[in-house]
Structure formats: structure tokens, C-alpha cells
Amino acid sequence: MVRVEGPRSLYSGLVAGLQRQMSFASVRIGLYDSVKQFYTKGSDHIGIGSRLMAGCTTGAMAVALAQPTDVVKVRFQAQISAGANKRYHGTMDAYRTIAKEEGFRGLWKGTGPNITRNAIVNCTELVTYDLIKDALIKSMLMTDDLPCHFTSAFGAGFCTTVIASPVDVVKTRYMNSAQGQYSSALNCAVAMFAKEGPKAFYKGFMPSFLRLGSWNVVMFVTYEQLKRALMAARHNWVTPL
């Protein structure tokens, strides 16, 4: 890509990607604890079922809100940056072009598989992070600090890639397909399996793992540090010197 399209091609769709991550993270992480408490009805015991339900719920809510940003990001990343035949010439141009050519429903293309994908990713990321972190602390291998957060986040990234890769591949293939190429996401998955076999569902596993692994480390480490800082600030506000 760098040789043919230049180094900027590695950051294709960056603006839409930032819009996606900001809106997705705000909903699926920001509401996770509140939704988890809703499912436990205030109980101190939080089982894995409540965690899974909270992950599914916030993942689906994030997709319903931010699906257009994901569609634009995928389209940008798929188009060749070099040459004059670029379909989209900017982020806002992409939103306008898709809405004009495919209707507003085009901006929500692939919502079904994306909800499935994000429910799986959200559950796996948040639940495995919670479980790995709790196991490390309870076994006294680590304390609740930066190394523990880093290890838990990296483990969650690997688990997420293994479980979510098939849905991720189908989602990307379907969202980037020409109009009418596949009748549904299920039809896309069946066609992939018939033409390319089961290995097709794990195509791009390593870059996907590098992406999710690094994303999880940055997300959870930042989240834990911000949460700790906000709790300290709140404590100082409630009990002033």
C-alpha cells in the first residue's frame, strides 16, 4: 500500500474512524457499568450473565447510533487512494454520496451483522477484561494497577479477535459490496464459505489482532486511569481540606 498509494493510504478513513470510535466508545463503555447495575437490580453479586447482557445491550445501542460512521470508514478504506477515480473525496462527501445514491438506508447498510459483531466484540472485550483482571487480583499475581490493566486488556484483545473475526469479515465484505451483490449478510457468509472455504472467515487475523490488541490496551488503560482520577477528584470535592 505504501509503495503503490503512498504512506497516507494507511490512514485512509481516519476522520470517519475517529467519529466511529468516539461515538461507539461513549455509548458501549460509558453506559456499560450503568446497564450492568440495571440487570443486577442493585445486587452486590455480578454474575457473568449480567455482564454478557450488559455487553450485548450497549454494543447494540452503539451500532444503532453510529452505523453511518462505520459505513463511511469501511468504504474509504476499501477505495484506492491513488489516481483520479476516487469515489469519495472527503468524509462529508462520502456521507452525501451514499445518501444520494443509495438513500439514507445506505448509511445503515449492514446494521444487522454489525449489531451481531459489536454485541460479540463488546461482550468478549468487557467480560474477558473483567474476568482476567478479577482472576489476577484474586490470585494475588498482580495488584489493581497499570501492569494488571495492560495484561488484562491484551488478553481481552486476543480473545475478542478469535471469537469475533468471522462476523467481522462478513460485516466488512457485506458493507463494502456492490448494490445487489448479496441479498443479505447471511447470503454473503454462505457465498464466502462456498467459494473460499472456512479459512475465509479468519482472513486478516493478524492485522485484526494487532488492531484489537492495541485498541484494548489503549482503551482500558486510559479508562482505568481516568476513572481513578475522577474518583480521587470526587473524593477531594466531597471531603475538602
Return the DSSP state at 81: -
* Of 65, 86, 72, 169, residue with least CA distance to 120: 169
Q: How many CB atoms lie within 10 A of CB 133?
A: 21
C-alpha cell belonging to residue 229:
482520577
Q: Give the pLDDT band of residue 137 (cuts 50, 70, 90).
A: very high
Mean pLDDT, rounded, for 177-200: 86
Q: What is the pLDDT of residues 80-120, one digit of tens each?
A: 655 556 777 788 888 888 888 888 888 888 788 778 777 77
Contact 51, 32 (CB under 8 A): no
Report the amino acid identity of residue 221: V
Which of 115-119, 129-133, 150-154, 158-162 is predicted least confidently? Answer: 115-119
pLDDT number for residue 150? 92
Q: What is the pLDDT of residues 28-69, one digit of tens each?
A: 778 888 888 888 876 777 777 887 788 788 888 888 888 888
Tell me the Cα Rg of the chain. Answer: 20
* Of 19, 25, 176, 22, residue with least CA distance to 92: 19
pLDDT number for residue 60? 83
pLDDT number for residue 155? 92
Return the DSSP state at 79: S
Top mean-pLDDT range of 6-20, 47-61, 65-79, 208-222: 208-222
pLDDT number for residue 81? 59
- Whole-number Å distance between alpha carbons of 218 and 147: 13
Contact 73, 96 (CB under 8 A): no
Whether residue 9 has pLDDT greater than 80: no
User: CA 182: distance to chain centroid?
Assistant: 24
C-alpha cell belonging to residue 48:
457473568
- Rounded-to-10 torsion of CA 186, 181, 65, 9: 120
Q: To the nearest whole percent, how much of the chain has pLDDT over 70?
A: 95
pLDDT number for residue 80? 65
pTM metric for this prediction: 0.63
Contact 122, 55 (CB under 8 A): yes
pLDDT number for residue 156? 92
Whether residue 78 has pLDDT greater than 80: no
Return the DSSP state at 10: G
pLDDT number for residue 136? 93
Whether residue 235 has pLDDT greater than 80: no
End-to-end distance of the chain based on CA atoms, in angstroms? 58
Contact 78, 183 (CB under 8 A): no
Polymer length in residues for the chain: 241
